[in-house]
Chain A
């Protein structure tokens, strides 16, 4: 191979590499990181990207150079030189990729270890780590704070610069918890509790997304992670705790909200507009079709959803998990729905 052709090949390679680098740098690929874990994952991302650009440039350069230099003329009948192999070259392109993937494996394993570790150095401080139980069901998230009297929230509230340990589970099928800005993801599996560690690094509102197909409402199974200052979080959490400590006042609307009925149903008094399940503004008509008194129809539909299925809706999309609601909550919810939101 002559020197001139090496120069040409390298020039094409540099051009392809520059093009790929421009695509990598000019497009804002990664979400703006909001956790320590995301910062580390971004490092791995750029590490792999650098190697990928080099390999891509090499392959593209050889293909393009070959297409320019080694095209047969039309009607050319000749064969190429009978080169069967080159042991040195073959050892090289076995060994070099092996070294590169080993490097990627080491970097990834180190980052994985760091990202799975909970900083639990100072037990004395109340928020170290903050444990949140993440409970998923079709098609809603709820977040329980065991350190604050089991307060439950439909949004994930976290203090900034604090290690958080999420303990994720599911009540029905497999869901998956993901906040793109945190770069952390974990499936929620019924019957087991899976941990996930997050250290939020900036305040803001970030989307919580279900990424494991979980049924008809999967696309709408979203919530929000609200990262605030530590003081604001403590104020909110202690407020929730005190509310629970007071006399138990069960409001039907609170039960409706806490169980995320609005992710599937329309119910104007609660501001719910979803259309996966039957319209709860028309409960009276539906009870008539089912041939039952309104109250007992509503109760049965919550506890045993398959007993009567409204025409036009598939059987089995209403979760059966609400059968376990405590009786006061169930009563309040039935009254709330039966009264059209007045009670």
Chain B
């Protein structure tokens, strides 16, 4: 029996009512309702704008810039309404009959169900991952264009506007549409299973927060089609450049960040409530796997910090479109205010992009070294320490910005102290390896690659935290090298580790181990050849975000460009492996890695409500080598949710 057939038989309840036919299909939630709903809301946006301008007596009544801005709010609402994101709540609000336990939109019967509103956290997790990998590929292609232009000094393929758009959209896609939501996708799939829950706490909210992602991503890309070009002020979008000297494409960036941020916040709330209220009996906080701890702290970071970037982007957009003066110095605004608000989110965002990776590394290393995590409690506590310290370091991005000089030394001290909890984690992973029985499968290769690359990125972070060195290398290629060692060598390697590790659980099939190893080595080598020389370029005097540079850096830039094309090509191996293995790979066992945590104690892929029997957690999650140790037992109690369904 193949895995796919198994899915069809067991993994979704039958739809409760017959599907609509004829023109009724236009009214049913789905892709037929999307186009006219988007048009309708586009019209509503135009109508409101023109009505207000007419009532106020403003001239002209038809202002393209304002209409575009308003449409970026209303059209996505139309899309979400069309796809069915609000159906249940609208029906409830207008008093129509609703069925709280309607599971017709739960679980996947065929590939088509992945393109619909679905409330199953496992389907949503896969939707997240496939969508984010799509944007990862697009963002990577933008980087390839950039490296092609940078292969030689002078201008070859693109003009300045296009080049500035390339690096701006590359960074924005990779951060807001890849790393952050990819971790949300892995968490979505794994966290409920790990804590013994049948689903997330708010499945309909979960579906809505997923469908905000394509909205944000395509809005970001659509800015290339806007007159005047895409936004070109860098992903940091500093005022006053972003608020005064940008084409209308900048508004697409401002609003895209809002939609992606809303998605993040909703998911984070969902994780928090799920982890706090839906743990299986016996799953105390100190028995939670470290990935659950990591998502818990990450979600706290998201909920506290994300509103700040929302604020900063709204203010810039108001300055740009409505001619307010938040950051306009000539009218009493404060340009540095933008940077303070922006980094108050965007530094914690670095940990939003790293802590889930720490969690994944802990899972993979413990299982594949066949040893308990060394110092489990200190590992969890250091996550909390990073959470708290993460909010006290934002101004280290502003050492040369001209802020209050006294702020520099305190921010340097907190930035350096954050190396201590991070060091605890690295040393604990190393101690976990010590005397283990190390199995070097692909996830473990990526986890070990992560540790070694993240150590280099962490050490270059020490250079940047030390104010005098930062003054020299700030805003140069040294910073480009540093963030790629942290976000590519760090976050992306753990995302790959996680995808390979849980691939058999998610798809019911095994990936190709040889291709996986090939992917790792190509990525590892290509990554170092691409990014390590950038340290040198930066220290020597090459600023970041330039399309043109002085001829003495030409040879090294050509070398970096060639290496980066190799790095880009390594992704093809990954994509081929995923597609081929998902379709044709050998059927996976329930627990191929012999792991103790709960997600591996159910079938691959898991039943539609995860646990046919309620798990009883009786011990710690990493008791490898302890004779007879169990993390959880199944003593035959049927899961209560399932009884209601049947």
Is B475's CB within 8 Å of the partner chain A?
yes
- Chain A nearest CB from B117 CB (Å) reads 40
- Chain A nearest CB from B41 CB (Å) reads 29
Whether the Cβ atoms of B409 and A79 lie closer than 8 Å is no
Q: Which of B230-285 contact A (CB under 8 A)?
A: 232-234, 238, 240-241, 244-247
The answer to whether residues A63 and B466 also contact, given A174-B241, A180-B540, A190-B240 and a CB cut-off of 8 A, is: no
Is A6's CB within 8 Å of the partner chain B?
no
The answer to whether residues A112 and B409 also contact, given A66-B433, A82-B371, A89-B431 and a CB cut-off of 8 A, is: yes
Whether the Cβ atoms of A211 and B402 lie closer than 8 Å is no
Whether the Cβ atoms of A84 and B545 lie closer than 8 Å is no
- Residue of B whose beta carbon sits closest to that of A64: B452
Whether the Cβ atoms of A190 and B400 lie closer than 8 Å is no
Is B587's CB within 8 Å of the partner chain A?
no
Whether the Cβ atoms of A85 and B376 lie closer than 8 Å is yes
B581 CB contacts on chain A under 8 angstroms: none
- Chain B nearest CB from A140 CB (Å) reads 15
Is B543's CB within 8 Å of the partner chain A?
yes
A3 CB contacts on chain B under 8 angstroms: none
CA distance A325 to B234 in the complex (A): 31
- Chain A nearest CB from B149 CB (Å) reads 11
- Chain B nearest CB from A138 CB (Å) reads 8
Total number of B residues with any Cβ neighbor in A under 8 Å: 92
A101 CB contacts on chain B under 8 angstroms: 416-417, 419-420, 462
Whether the Cβ atoms of A70 and B369 lie closer than 8 Å is yes
Is A239's CB within 8 Å of the partner chain B?
no
Is A251's CB within 8 Å of the partner chain B?
no
- Residue of B whose beta carbon sits closest to that of A103: B416
Whether the Cβ atoms of A185 and B400 lie closer than 8 Å is yes
The answer to whether residues A185 and B423 also contact, given A63-B452, A67-B438, A317-B245 and a CB cut-off of 8 A, is: no
Q: Which of A69-95 contact B (CB under 8 A)?
A: 70-72, 76-86, 89-90, 93-94
**Residue in B438, B452, B546 whose CB lies within 8 Å of A218:** B546
Whether the Cβ atoms of B468 and A111 lie closer than 8 Å is yes
B471 CB contacts on chain A under 8 angstroms: 41, 115, 183-185
Which of B400, B440, B455 has most A Cβ within 10 Å?
Answer: B400
Main secondary structure of the interface of A (DSSP, over half): mixed
Is A269's CB within 8 Å of the partner chain B?
no
Whether the Cβ atoms of A55 and B459 lie closer than 8 Å is yes
Whether the Cβ atoms of B455 and A55 lie closer than 8 Å is yes
- Chain A nearest CB from B247 CB (Å) reads 6
CA distance A98 to B535 in the complex (A): 26
- Chain A nearest CB from B369 CB (Å) reads 6
**Residue in B228, B456, B626 whose CB lies within 8 Å of A314:** B228
**Residue in B409, B431, B437 whose CB lies within 8 Å of A76:** B437
- Residue of B whose beta carbon sits closest to that of A138: B245
Whether the Cβ atoms of A97 and B419 lie closer than 8 Å is yes
The answer to whether residues A314 and B247 also contact, given A63-B452, A70-B438, A80-B436 and a CB cut-off of 8 A, is: yes
B430 CB contacts on chain A under 8 angstroms: 59, 62-63, 66
**Residue in A45, A77, A89, A215 whose CB lies within 8 Å of B241:** A215
The answer to whether residues A105 and B437 also contact, given A59-B452, A79-B370 and a CB cut-off of 8 A, is: no
A210-231: CB near B (< 8 Å → 1, else 0) gives: 1111111111100000000000
The answer to whether residues A190 and B329 also contact, given A83-B372, A108-B468, A115-B468 and a CB cut-off of 8 A, is: yes
Whether the Cβ atoms of A41 and B472 lie closer than 8 Å is yes
Which of B440, B546, B550 has most A Cβ within 10 Å?
Answer: B546
Whether the Cβ atoms of B241 and A112 lie closer than 8 Å is no
Is B549's CB within 8 Å of the partner chain A?
yes
- Chain B nearest CB from A7 CB (Å) reads 16
Whether the Cβ atoms of A191 and B329 lie closer than 8 Å is yes
Is A315's CB within 8 Å of the partner chain B?
yes
Which of A67, A72, A217 has most B Cβ within 10 Å?
Answer: A72
Whether the Cβ atoms of B416 and A105 lie closer than 8 Å is yes
Whether the Cβ atoms of A212 and B475 lie closer than 8 Å is yes
**Residue in A62, A112, A211 whose CB lies within 8 Å of B475:** A211
Whether the Cβ atoms of B474 and A79 lie closer than 8 Å is no
Q: Which of B526-565 contact A (CB under 8 A)?
A: 535-536, 539-541, 543-550
Is B412's CB within 8 Å of the partner chain A?
yes
- Residue of A whose beta carbon sits closest to that of B414: A105
Whether the Cβ atoms of B420 and A80 lie closer than 8 Å is no
Q: Which of A180-225 contact B (CB under 8 A)?
A: 180, 183-187, 189-192, 194, 207, 209-220
**Residue in B419, B463, B469, B625 whose CB lies within 8 Å of A79:** B625
CA distance A239 to B164 in the complex (A): 42
The answer to whether residues A186 and B402 also contact, given A48-B466, A191-B335 and a CB cut-off of 8 A, is: yes
Is B160's CB within 8 Å of the partner chain A?
yes
Whether the Cβ atoms of A81 and B625 lie closer than 8 Å is yes
**Residue in A44, A56, A213 whose CB lies within 8 Å of B469:** A44
Whether the Cβ atoms of A174 and B475 lie closer than 8 Å is no
CA distance A240 to B371 in the complex (A): 75
B311-351: CB near A (< 8 Å → 1, else 0) gives: 00000000000000000011000011000000000000000
- Residue of B whose beta carbon sits closest to that of A27: B536
Which of B402, B420, B430, B550 has most A Cβ within 10 Å?
Answer: B402
- Residue of B whose beta carbon sits closest to that of A173: B241
- Chain B nearest CB from A2 CB (Å) reads 12
The answer to whether residues A207 and B550 also contact, given A187-B401, A217-B160, A317-B245 and a CB cut-off of 8 A, is: yes
CA distance A154 to B465 in the complex (A): 34
CA distance A109 to B469 in the complex (A): 11
Q: Which of A30-72 contact B (CB under 8 A)?
A: 30-31, 38, 40-41, 44-45, 48, 51-52, 55-56, 59-60, 62-63, 66-67, 70-72
Whether the Cβ atoms of A187 and B402 lie closer than 8 Å is yes
Is A233's CB within 8 Å of the partner chain B?
no
- Residue of A whose beta carbon sits closest to that of B532: A23
The answer to whether residues A190 and B623 also contact, given A52-B459, A317-B245 and a CB cut-off of 8 A, is: no
Is A116's CB within 8 Å of the partner chain B?
yes
Q: Which of B282-321 contact A (CB under 8 A)?
A: none
B575-611: CB near A (< 8 Å → 1, else 0) gives: 0000000000000000000100000000000000000
- Chain A nearest CB from B158 CB (Å) reads 12
CA distance A198 to B541 in the complex (A): 17
Is B446's CB within 8 Å of the partner chain A?
no
Is A11's CB within 8 Å of the partner chain B?
no
- Chain A nearest CB from B403 CB (Å) reads 9
**Residue in B329, B400, B543 whose CB lies within 8 Å of A187:** B400
Is A126's CB within 8 Å of the partner chain B?
no
- Residue of A whose beta carbon sits closest to that of B417: A101
A48 CB contacts on chain B under 8 angstroms: 462-463, 466, 469
Pairs across A and B, CB under 8 Å, 25 listed: A41-B469, A41-B472, A52-B459, A59-B455, A79-B371, A80-B624, A86-B374, A90-B375, A90-B424, A94-B424, A102-B416, A108-B467, A111-B468, A174-B401, A176-B474, A178-B475, A189-B335, A189-B402, A190-B335, A213-B234, A214-B241, A219-B160, A220-B548, A316-B245, A316-B247
Closest 8 CB pairs of A and B: A191-B329, A180-B541, A219-B546, A79-B625, A80-B371, A211-B475, A82-B625, A101-B416
